[in-house]
A and B are shown apart, each in its own frame.
Chain A
């Protein structure tokens, strides 16, 4: 172990020659929390998204609100919860839509079908990727991989009719015996 101990000594001398300021170390945060903090430090939030991180330290949950300014879902307010475990970023956060909405890729229980949240997740992705992914779901709902089959069928068959359904359900209307949440003010 002589070599390692010599290396340590060299490093100690180097440190002493540098300024005497000791390293301030963050001790209370887990590696997953540190990574989240880094995500937040570098995130670029567009005006169509609100991010609420107030519950992140206490409950590992962030809230993201999507406010689309174009497309079928324009002028709606859609709230999502993102729950992070200590496995982040090896595992993606669990994302739920907190409003009951009519959307081809989001079911009425709030489950979200977005590839990067499941099969295509990778530890190099971050909060920014999820933000962009959720925003894209509202700008370009995808009828090819449906979670709400009726909505996907409507979108494929007649985009105008689909748009009318979206507008009605966003105002809290009933469609095919399901009452949706009001998400416009």
Chain B
């Protein structure tokens, strides 16, 4: 029987996925849980990030999450209380020695760069220790009704970088020529004001969407231009504009629950040796847009992977 008393898990992110993961790990009795996030709580988080309440707005997410779970005094493995330790910081500043103390790293991040960083560090831990250390990295992600769960055994199975080419590109959605000369949608006007008019008018100021003056300027410019192209300007409300420039996809709380659940199930299977390292599908996707579609598959290692590939030294 696997002894859980010495198991420790690092959770990356204390947002929608992070709250679900922390809850799952605590109720599973994992005695040592650390969580890292550099965000503070905003009012709009509260619909899905259930460890926080209105009085916590403005405080560090990790601190409130840790307080909440620790205050429940959940009895974990070996009779010790589950303890969550918060780290209110940028996770890329963790040293490799710090990361090396954990049994698992589970992530619910919103940034590809942070994942790439952690992935690279964990692969290095395996390779530098000549395989004496190996910390499975379980990556959860959700956007709207869709999500994925990737199980990465650094040095053994496909790493995050191996699958980078399968990610959708983060691109500007509209051709520049369309937004400049042939705008047809309110979104085109906003894009033009942001990409072309702003740098022309304020070459030394970078646009800040949290600055009301900047947002006001963008609204005015877009509405002005709407008239010359006979585009309905009534759509150009500050909220709509913010949604376009921040590329907001509304979060769906149940998608988070499904993905976080799957990540914790993956960890459990690893813990109890229910994982077939050669044949188990390592990546899963979920799409709840129509019915519920989910698919698991084996993603192979890329022999030329820049992070874990066998050929990378030849570069």
B 97-155 contacts with A by CB, 8 A: 103, 112-113, 116-117, 119-120, 124, 127-128, 130-132, 134, 136, 153, 155
Query: Are B131 and A12 within 8 A (Cβ)?
Result: yes
A 65-109 contacts with B by CB, 8 A: 86-87, 89-92, 105, 107, 109
CB closest chain-B residue, reference A27: B124
Also in contact, A109 and B200, with CB within 8 A (given A37-B315, A86-B113, A87-B170): yes
- Give the residue among B128, B177, B200, B306 with the most A Cβ atoms within 10 A: B177
Min CB distance, B104 to chain A, in Å? 9
Q: Which residues of B contact A34 (CB under 8 A)?
A: 306-307, 315
Q: How far is the CA of A111 from the CA of B176 in the complex (A)?
A: 9
Task: Decide if A58 is an interface residue (CB 8 Å cutoff).
Answer: no
Task: Decide if A161 is an interface residue (CB 8 Å cutoff).
Answer: no
Query: Are B169 and A121 within 8 A (Cβ)?
Result: yes
Q: Which residues of B contact A1 (CB under 8 A)?
A: 2, 103, 270-271, 273
Q: Which residues of B contact A35 (CB under 8 A)?
A: 306
For chains A and B in complex, what number of residue pairs have CB atoms within 8 angstroms?
118
Q: How far is the CA of A145 from the CA of B173 in the complex (A)?
A: 15
CB closest chain-B residue, reference A42: B315
Min CB distance, A41 to chain B, in Å? 6
CB closest chain-B residue, reference A41: B315
Q: Could you say which of B15-23, B57-65, B160-168, B216-224 contacts chain A?
A: B160-168
**B interface residues with partner A (beta carbon < 8 Å):** 2, 103, 112-113, 116-117, 119-120, 124, 127-128, 130-132, 134, 136, 153, 155-156, 161, 164-165, 167, 169-178, 180-181, 195-196, 199-200, 270-271, 273, 275, 277, 306-307, 313, 315
- Of A2, A23, A24, A91, the contact of B171 (CB 8 Å cutoff): A91
Query: Are B136 and A91 within 8 A (Cβ)?
Result: no
Q: How far is the CA of A60 from the CA of B63 in the complex (A)?
A: 36
Query: Are A25 and B127 within 8 A (Cβ)?
Result: yes
Min CB distance, B300 to chain A, in Å? 17
Q: How far is the CA of A113 from the CA of B164 in the complex (A)?
A: 26
Query: Are A31 and B161 within 8 A (Cβ)?
Result: yes
**A interface residues with partner B (beta carbon < 8 Å):** 1-4, 7-8, 11-12, 15, 22-25, 27, 30-32, 34-35, 37-38, 41, 86-87, 89-92, 105, 107, 109, 111-113, 115, 118-124, 145-147, 149
Query: Are A25 and B128 within 8 A (Cβ)?
Result: yes
Q: How far is the CA of A149 from the CA of B183 in the complex (A)?
A: 14
Min CB distance, A137 to chain B, in Å? 12
Query: Are A105 and B169 within 8 A (Cβ)?
Result: no
Query: Are A107 and B273 within 8 A (Cβ)?
Result: no
- Of B136, B156, B178, B315, the contact of A38 (CB 8 Å cutoff): B315
Q: Which residues of B contact A4 (CB under 8 A)?
A: 134, 136, 153, 270, 277
- Of B2, B119, B177, B271, the contact of A145 (CB 8 Å cutoff): B177
- Of B161, B164, B178, B313, the contact of A24 (CB 8 Å cutoff): B313
Could you name 29 residue pairs across A and B whose Cβ atoms are closer than 8 Å? A1-B271, A4-B134, A7-B156, A8-B131, A8-B132, A11-B131, A23-B127, A25-B124, A25-B127, A27-B124, A31-B116, A31-B161, A34-B307, A34-B315, A41-B315, A87-B112, A89-B164, A90-B164, A91-B169, A112-B176, A115-B175, A118-B175, A118-B176, A119-B171, A119-B172, A123-B164, A123-B167, A124-B165, A147-B180
Query: Are B315 and A123 within 8 A (Cβ)?
Result: no
Q: How far is the CA of A160 from the CA of B295 in the complex (A)?
A: 57
Min CB distance, B239 to chain A, in Å? 25
Q: How far is the CA of A145 from the CA of B181 in the complex (A)?
A: 9
CB closest chain-A residue, reference B96: A27
Q: Which residues of B contact A107 (CB under 8 A)?
A: 180, 196
Also in contact, A145 and B169, with CB within 8 A (given A11-B155, A123-B164): no
- Of B130, B167, B172, B180, the contact of A90 (CB 8 Å cutoff): B167
